Structure 1
Amino acid sequence: MRLPAAPVGAENPLPPLRAPEETHTVSADAREGLPRDMARQLRYEPLRGLLPVRLLDGYGRERTETVLDTLVIENSRVRATVLPSFGGRVHSLLHRPTGRELVYSNPVFQPADFALNGAWFSGGIEWNIGATGHSMLSCAPVHAAVVTAPDGGEMLRLWEWERLRDLPFQVDLWLPEDSDFLHVGVRVRNPHEKPAPLYWWSNTAVPEDRRVLAPADSAWHFGYERTLRKVTVPVADGLDRTRPPLAPHSADYFYDVPDTQRRWIAALDGDGHGLAQTSTDRLRGRKLFVWGSGTGGRRWQRWLTEPGTDGYAEIQAGLARTQLEHVRLDAESDISWLETYGPLSADPAAVHGDDWPAARAETAARLEEAMPRERVDAAYEAWLACADSEPGERLATGSGWGALEVLRGGFKLPGTPFAESEFGDEQGPWLELLRAGTFPRSASDGRPPGPTLVSPHWRDMLETAGDDPLTEYHLGIAQWHADDRAQAVRSWERALESGPAHWPLLRCLAVADAEAGNKGRAADRYEAAFDGLRAARDETDPGADAEWEPATTALARETIDALLLARRTDRARTVWERLPAETRARGRFRLIEARLLLAEGDRPAARAVFDEGFEVADLREAAETLNEVWAQATGGKGAEPLPEHYDFRMRAGEA
Structure 2
Amino acid sequence: MATTVRRTAVTLPAAPLGPENPLPALRPLDEVHVLDERARAGLPRDMARQIGYRPLTSLLPVRVRDGYGRTRRHTEFEAVVLENAHLRVTVLPGLGGRVHSLVHLPTGRELLYRNPVFQPAAFALNGAWFSGGIEWNIGATGHTTLSCAPLHAALVPAPDGGAMVRLWEWERLRDLPFQVDLWLPEDSAHLYVGVRVRNPHERPAPVSWWSNTAVPEDSGSRILAPAEQAWHFGHERDLRRVPVPEHDGADRTYPLRSAYPADFFYEVPDGERRWIAALDAEGHGLVQTSTDLLRGRKLFVWGSGRGGRRWQEWLTEPGTPGYAEIQAGLARTQLEHVRLEAGAEFSWLEAYGPLSADPAAVHGGDWAAARAAAGRALEEALPRQQVAEAFAAWRPHADAEPGERLAAGSGWGALEVLCGGHKLPGTPFPESTLGEPQEPWLQLWRTGVFPTPRRVTPPGPTLVAPHWRDMLETAPADPLTEYHLGVAQWHAGDIAQAVRSWERGLPLAPSRWPLLRCLAVADAVAGNQDRAVDRYAEAVEDLAHESRGGETWTAAESALAREAMTVALAAGRPAVARTVWERLRPALREQGRFRLLAARLLAAEGHVVAARRVFEDGFEVPDLREGDEALSTLWARLTNRPLPPRYDFRMRPPS
Q: TM-score range by the shorter chain?
A: over 0.9
> Is 1:352 matched with 2:363?
yes
Residue in 1 that maps onto 2:541? 531
> Are 1:199 and 2:200 an aligned pair?
no
* Residue 654 (1) aligns with residue 635 (2): no
Partner in structure 2 of residue 463 of structure 1: 473
Pairwise mapping of residues 167-178 of structure 1 onto structure 2 (< 5 A)? 167-178=176-187
- 2:397 partner SS: coil
1:339 has 2:350 as partner:
yes
Q: Mapping of 1:176-255 within 5 angstroms?
A: 176-209=185-218, 210-255=221-266
Q: Aligned partners of 1:114, 1:528: CA distance in 2, in Å?
A: 32
5 Å-filtered alignment, 1:278-427, equals 278-427=289-438
Render the CA deviation track for 1:449-496: whole Å, top value 9, x for unaligned. Answer: 000000000000000111111111100000000000100111111111
In the TM superposition, residue 500 of structure 1 has moved relative to its aligned partner by: 4.5
Alpha-carbon contact 1:453-1:478 (below 8 Å) kept = yes
Which of 591, 594, 599 is 1:594 aligned to?
599
Aligned to 1:556: 561
Cross-structure match for 1:645:
646
CA contact (8 A) 2:19 2:551 kept: no
Residue number among 604, 615, 618 corresponding to 2:620 in the alignment: 615
Q: Secondary structure at the match of 1:68?
A: strand
How far off its partner does 1:29 sit? 1.5
Looking at structure 2, the residues matched to 483 and 398 of structure 1 have their Cα atoms a distance apart, in angstroms, of: 30
1:16 aligns with 2:25: yes
Tell me by how many angstroms 1:443 deviates.
5.3
CA distance in 2, matches of 1:239, 1:567: 45
Aligned to 2:114: 105
Report the CA distance shift for 1:490/1:238 in structure 2 as closer, same or farther (over 3 A).
same
Q: Does 1:626 align with 2:631?
A: yes
Q: Does 1:434 align with 2:445?
A: yes
Query: What is the identity, as a one-letter code, of the residue corresponding to 2:539?
Result: A
Instruction: Give the partner amino acid of 2:526.
Output: A
**Structure 2 counterparts to residues 59-98 of structure 1, below 5 A:** 59-98=68-107
Deviations 1:58-94 (A, max 9, x none): 1111111111111111111101101111100000000
CA contact (8 A) 1:442 1:468 kept: no
Equivalent residue number for residue 581 of structure 1: 586
For residue 46 of structure 1, give the secondary structure of its aligned residue in structure 2: coil
Q: Are positions 1:275 and 2:286 aligned together?
A: yes
Partner of 1:547, secondary structure, is: helix
Q: Which residue of 1 aligns with 2:486?
A: 476
1:44-55 alignment, distance < 5 Å: 44-55=53-64
SS at match of 1:85: helix
Deviations 1:10-35 (A, max 9, x none): 10000000011000111221112211
Kindly state the Cα deviation for residue 568 of structure 1 after the two structures are TM-superposed.
2.4
Amino acid across the alignment from 1:428: E
Q: Distance in 2 between matches of 1:456 and 1:126?
A: 30
In the alignment, the residues of structure 1 paired with residue 573 and residue 426 of structure 2 have an alpha-carbon distance, to the nearest angstrom, of 57
1:571 to 565, 576, 579: 576
Q: Which amino acid aligns with 1:16?
A: A
TM-superposed CA distance for 1:654, in Å, is 2.4
Partner of 2:3: none
Distance 2:281 2:576 in 1: 60
Distance, in Å, in 1 between the alignment partners of 2:621 and 2:167 is: 33
Deviates more, 1:564-573 or 1:141-150: 564-573
Matched, 1:126 2:135: yes
Q: CA separation of 1:300/1:192 partners in 2, compared to 1, >3 Å: closer, same or farther?
A: same
Instruction: Check the 8 A contact 2:303/2:309 in 1, yes or no.
Output: yes
| C-alpha spacing 1:465/1:170, structure 2 compared with 1 (3 Å) | same
Tell me the distance in 1 between the aligned counterparts of 2:213 and 2:509. Answer: 52
Q: Distance in 2 between matches of 1:495 and 1:250?
A: 46
Q: Give the 3-state SS of the residue equivalent to 1:361 in structure 2.
A: helix
CA distance in 2, matches of 1:174, 1:326: 28
Paired residue secondary structure (1:391): coil
Question: 1:270-305, CA deviations, whole angstroms, 9 ceiling, x for partnerless residues?
Answer: 111000000000000000000001110000000001
1:547 Cα deviation (Å)? Answer: 2.7
Shift of 1:338: 0.1
Partner Cα separation in structure 1 for residue 435 and residue 455 of structure 2? 22
- RMSD (CA atoms): 1.0
Cα-to-partner distance string for 1:146-199 (whole Å, 9 max, x where unaligned): 000000000000000000000000000000002110000000000000000000
**Alignment partner of 1:498 is 2:503:** no
CA distance in 2 between counterparts of 1:585 and 1:93 reads 40
2:511 aligned with 1:510, yes or no?
Answer: no
Q: How far does residue 498 in structure 1 lie from its aligned partner after superposition?
A: 3.0
- How much has 1:395 moved relative to structure 2? 0.5
Q: Determine the C-alpha separation between the residues in 1 that align with 2:646 and 2:540.
A: 33
Question: Residues of 2 paired with 1:253 and 1:443: CA distance?
Answer: 53
Q: Distance in 2 between matches of 1:284 and 1:444?
A: 51
What residue ranges of structure 1 are gaps of 5+ in the alignment?
A: none
Look up the equivalent residue of 1:605 and give its one-letter code. A
Q: Does the CA-based 8 Å contact 1:253-1:289 persist in structure 2? A: yes
1:116 aligned partner = 125
Unaligned runs of at least 5 residues, structure 2:
1-9
Per-residue CA shift, 1:416-436, capped at 9, x if unaligned? Answer: 000000000000000001111
Inter-partner Cα distance in structure 2 for 1:355 and 1:80: 35
How far does residue 582 in structure 1 lie from its aligned partner after superposition?
Answer: 1.7
1:245 touches 1:292 (CA, 8 Å); kept in 2?
Answer: yes
Deviation by residue 1:123-147 (Cα, 9 ceiling, x = unmatched): 0000000000000000000000000
User: Structure 1 counterpart of 2:92, which letter?
Assistant: L
| SS state at 2:389 partner | helix
Residue 34 of structure 1 corresponds to which residue in structure 2? 43
* Distance change >3 Å, CA 608–CA 35, structure 1 → 2: same
Aligned residues: 644
Shift of 1:246: 1.0
Indicate conservation of the 8 Å contact 1:442/1:469, yes or no: no
Question: What letter matches 2:513 in structure 1?
Answer: W
The whole-number CA distance in structure 2 between the counterparts of 1:409 and 1:92 is 37
Is the partner of 2:584 in helix, strand or coil? coil
- Distance, in Å, in 2 between the alignment partners of 1:569 and 1:217 is 54
Distance 1:609 1:39 in 2: 46
Find the aligned partners of 2:498 and 2:391 in 1 and give their Cα distance.
Answer: 47
User: Aligned-pair distance for 1:501?
Assistant: 5.7
* Aligned mates of 2:577, 2:484 — CA distance in 1: 29
Q: Which amino acid counterpart does residue 593 of structure 1 have in structure 2?
A: A
CA distance in 1, matches of 2:299, 2:364: 19
Structure 2 SS opposite 1:315 = strand
1:41 partner SS: helix
Over the matched positions of the two proteins, sequence identity in percent amounts to: 69
